Structure 1
Amino acid sequence: MASVPEISRICFGCEPLGGADWGPISVPDIADAISRALELGVNFFDTADVYGLGLSETRLSEILGARRHDVVIATKGGMSWREATSGGRAAVSRDSSPAYLRTAVEASLRRLRLDRLPVYFIHWPDPGTEIKHTFEFLSRLKEEGKVGHIGCSNFSAAQVRAACEVSEVSLVQLPVNLLGEEMDLEMAELVKEKAIGVVAYNVLANGLLTGKYDTNSRFTQDDRRARLPLFHGEAYLRALLQVTEISARAEAENLTCAQYAIASVLRRGDVVSAILGVKNRAQIEENYSAMSRLFGR
């Protein structure tokens, strides 16, 4: 059976710290939110080496300071990149080969200023590398003390099972939300069989489930929502109708739409933590206060 780390039900998502894909951000505001999250009891922080091409990890380490040794930081690897020379988006590709992962893990350790990565996810399965080779190597890194718990992000149930054949897998990270992103039956059965914890992401469906968007909302080109099909055309109109219905259910429980969406995910027995991308103190206070009341830490 897998060994799951002791983590708070709310995970502070640090992708916005990378400074890309979420529109304008204020690093001081996020730093203030992290400070408040620590006061509230949040001990789980999720980042990835590809967020801002290393910038999210560096900023998280700087903001946490000495507290980085007291919390559970999860980072993700297995994505290589080549920065654009003309100011465009970097060219990113999947690479979970042992040779690349050695370099990636060492780089994450330097940026986070840690001797050991508490949780290390493979960000996406790499079709060019056998899962066996990737996770045998991660087990070796764990034996070396470079990696604590091992996780799979965006893997199918079959791929997670293949990883489990050669390594202990403690966590899987998957999108779960009230707009239809859901674990399939095979994954649900597997995490129960192996006692693997599920870390849910996209819980608020890229912000739609906050209830703050409508048909007049517009997104700048540095905001991923400008590119996502869910935020355009008929798909967007259908989603807004769903959000209206969900908001009514939330009101019946005296919760905001966002709080209700998060609570619905955390009420599942297999979800151990929900990642929330946080930009400011108000967001963490609104959502953590309700979750601590409903679920404790």
Structure 2
Amino acid sequence: MQYRELGSSGVEVSEVAFGAWVVGTDWWGDRSDEDAVDMVQHALNEGVTFFDTGDVYGHGRSEELIGEALGEYRDEVTVATKVGYDFYNNAQAGHGEIPKDLSPEYLRDAVEGSLDRLDMEYLDVLFLHNANVDEVTDEALEELYAMREEGLYDALGWALGPSIGWLAEGDRAVELDFDAVQTVYNLFEQTPGRHFLDTIREERADTSLIARVPHSSGLLNKQVTPDTELGTGDHRAHRPDAWFETGWEKVEAIEFLERNGERTMGQASIQYLLDDEEVASVVPTFRSVDDIDEWAATPDTPRLGDEERRRVDELYAENFGIDRDDGMTPEDFRTSVGGDDLRGAGVLPSEPAD
């Protein structure tokens, strides 16, 4: 395992992180609390030291289990959580989004609640969870900065998702010198990851990227194949059938990345993201101990060569030679500012002048 710093915060993260949305929820399959704790501790044994949870995962249960699993190793690990969804006063139905609250009073109560459940005195990283750009007011920022000064957390991040887009939010995080932006970013879905890399470089910012969904919902690690039947509760079932069908064709086009006995497709997909020094960590979804063993070993596998990288980038530029709609076009990308961010970035064409 290798380790990188989040921005200039001094907070160190493992290049491969543990996304704890699998802990305390059934979004990625059922597992007992004991199994979840064992997975977390197994990941730690394999060199994973960055554990990323959220207060809304299992309505606090994920944080409780992470605290139980890591309590005795507190000085050896980096723990992040996310706040912003008011699950205290709103029931959750399935995977639907519940109301958010980013008022100063709520943010402080949420952070203190997370610390209680984790049984920890401070957080290494605090993320705003899927906050719209207009929800992060000056008053909210003042409270966030005050809590950092008080030692409640060390590094500040903005977690974006689950849908593709969020350009206004990520750009604002870079403008505000947030230590980290967490975003969907993988070899098949490079918007908005590539956009944020450009923004960070243009602004010469210290903000780091944290890439989530690095395996494109199971395509790039070959866990979702034409023979896979996704259960009704599986978080990936929202993807259109056409998206999976085109995805399987794309996988065939990049199978040259596999090196028999040296690097799997799942490992190559992570290496592709880690090529950029601004990407501090990649957060795959560990569903089993076997996943942990494979993906935590990624930093020890061969990095992509220049020719491999060039071939991947050429394929991406031409949509892997596929000329049909996959059901998820840029017009469907998420925006909180009426599409101005997408048009400004060239993701959507500019509107004609009046």
When the two structures are superposed, what TM-score results if normalisation uses the length of structure 2?
Answer: 0.74
Q: Is residue 270 from structure 1 mapped to residue 274 from structure 2 by the alignment? A: no
Q: Select between 90-99 and 246-255 the one with higher mean Cα deviation.
A: 246-255
Match of 1:221 among 219, 226, 232: 232
Match of 2:42 among 31, 36, 49: 36
Q: SS where residue 154 of structure 2 aligns? A: strand
Contact 1:154-1:174 at 8 Å conserved across structures: yes
Contact 1:13-1:278 at 8 Å conserved across structures: yes
Over 3 Å counting, the alpha-carbon distance change for 1:194 and 1:20 in structure 2 is same
Q: Distance in 1 between matches of 2:91 and 2:181?
A: 29
Partner of 1:189: 198
Partner of 1:178: 187
Q: Distance in 2 between matches of 1:261 and 1:253?
A: 16
Unaligned runs of 5+ in 2: 1-6, 304-354
Partner of 2:117: 111
Structure 1 residue 183, shift from structure 2 partner: 3.2
When the two structures are superposed, what TM-score results if normalisation uses the length of structure 1?
Answer: 0.87
The within-5 A match list for 1:47-196 is 47-81=53-87, 82-83=90-91, 92-126=98-132, 129-154=135-160, 156=166, 158-160=168-170, 162-163=172-173, 168-183=177-192, 186-192=195-201, 193-196=204-207
Over the matched positions of the two proteins, sequence identity in percent amounts to 29
Partner of 2:28: 22
Contact 1:119-1:150 at 8 Å conserved across structures: yes
> Which has the bigger relative contact order, CA under 8 A and spacing at least 6?
1
4+ residue segments displaced more than 6 Å: none
1:77 alignment partner AA: V
Q: Highest Rg: 1 or 2?
A: 2
Partner of 2:223: 212
Structure 1 residue 243, shift from structure 2 partner: 1.7
Q: What do you get for the CA RMSD once the two structures are aligned?
A: 2.5
Contact 2:36-2:65 at 8 Å conserved across structures: no
Structure 1 residue 89, shift from structure 2 partner: 5.8
Which one has the bigger strand percentage?
A: 1
Over 3 Å counting, the alpha-carbon distance change for 1:162 and 1:225 in structure 2 is closer
Aligned pairs, how many? 289
Unaligned runs of 5+ in 1: none
Q: Distance in 1 between matches of 2:71 and 2:149?
A: 27
Q: Deviation per CA, 1:20-65: give whole Å up to 9, x if none.
A: 3112234433333322222222211001111111111111111123
Over 3 Å counting, the alpha-carbon distance change for 1:256 and 1:12 in structure 2 is same
Contact 1:4-1:196 at 8 Å conserved across structures: no
2:249 alignment partner AA: L
